[in-house]
Amino acid sequence: MVEGVPAEGGLRERKKRATRAALVEAAVRLAAEHGAEHVTVDAISAAAGVSTRTFFNYFDSRDEVFVMVSADASDRVRRAVLAAPPALSPLEALREALAAELQEVERQQELWRLHAEVLRKAPQLLARRIGAHMADELGLAETLAERIGAGSPLFTEDRPEFASPGDEERRRALGLYPRLLAAVGGAAVRVAVEHWSVRQGEVPFADVFRETFEHLAAGLPPPPASHD
């Protein structure tokens, strides 16, 4: 649990998250072994120990299970950003929220590696994952805007015409800073994970992540020239 953020629901909610996670893991492992195109909803459900009907309680289609790996994580990050101490800068609040969530990267490194492998081999899934990532980034940008007191006017009570705004309206309502920070944060995570994944055993992921955000906080000055 992130400090300052209450636990997410009771036993029922924890069971739901566990079932979703089991379905995602089963789908990824089956796809890594057999190829995503050969994996059926029935096979995923059986491997996760649930019924096919239960599968469709969590996902609208077979392909969705491959691109919703971080759905719960995105929500937790947004909540943690809003709950971070007021003294933290927006970048620091984002860093702390991401750091707490990314502890899962080291604990589930094999699953994340397999997931990346599955997406590389299935362009249609990769395209859907990119779309899901863009939706997550937009939601994070709105959260950061709220954090800095520049929340979207689309969600004020005196704008009922925007009760369910589309993505275009949401982007138009956001300022540049929260959108840029959300995008930079996502890129920083991706680079940190990729940098660490080929150096496992040499350096802890936490160190790579911290150094990545130190570069961002410093304004990305070039590193000192090596004299080796």
Q: Which residues contact 145 (CB under 8 A, 6 or more apart)?
A: 151, 152, 174, 175, 178
Burial (CB count <10 Å: 0-12, 13-18, 19+), residue 216: middle
Task: Indicate whether 52 and 77 sit together in one domain.
Answer: no
In a domain, 2, yes or no: no
In this structure, is residue 212 part of a structural domain? yes
Q: Are residues 95 and 166 in the same domain?
A: yes
Q: Give, as one character, the DSSP assignment of residue 125.
A: H
What does the block give as tokens for 61? 């289609």
d(CA 110, CA 29): 10
Q: Tell me: the pLDDT tens digits for 3-38?
A: 334 445 578 888 888 899 899 999 999 999 999 999
Pair (137, 53) in one structural domain: no
Q: Which domain holds residue 94?
A: 69-217
Give the number of domains in the chain.
2
Instruction: Name every residue whose Cβ is closer than 8 Å to that of residue 80 and which is 6 or more positions away in sequence.
Output: 2, 4, 5, 93, 96, 97, 100, 101
Q: What is the pLDDT of residues 45-100, one digit of tens each?
A: 999 999 999 999 999 999 988 877 666 788 889 999 999 999 999 999 999 999 98
Residue 72 is predicted with a pLDDT of 73
Query: Could you read off the pLDDT of 150-196 as tens digits, one per residue?
Result: 766 555 444 444 445 688 888 888 999 999 999 999 999 888 888 88
Q: Are residues 105 and 167 in the same domain?
A: yes
Question: Which CATH number fits the domain that encloses residue 139?
Answer: 1.10.357.10
Are 176 and 77 part of one and the same domain? yes
**End-to-end CA gap in the chain:** 44
41 and 139 assigned to the same domain: no
Last residue of a domain, one of 18, 44, 61: 61
Instruction: Check if the beta carbon of residue 119 is closer than 8 Å to that of residue 126.
Output: yes
Helix (H, G, I), strand (E, B) or coil at 40: coil
Task: Find out whether 182 and 91 touch, Cβ atoms under 8 Å.
Answer: no
Same domain as 209, residue 142: yes
Say which residue the tokens 């080929």 belong to. Answer: 198
Are residues 42 and 90 both part of a single domain?
A: no
Q: Is residue 180 part of a domain?
A: yes
Does residue 3 lie within any of the structural domains? no
**SS3 state at 54:** helix
Asked if 137 and 54 sit in the same domain, the reply is no
* 195 is a domain residue: yes
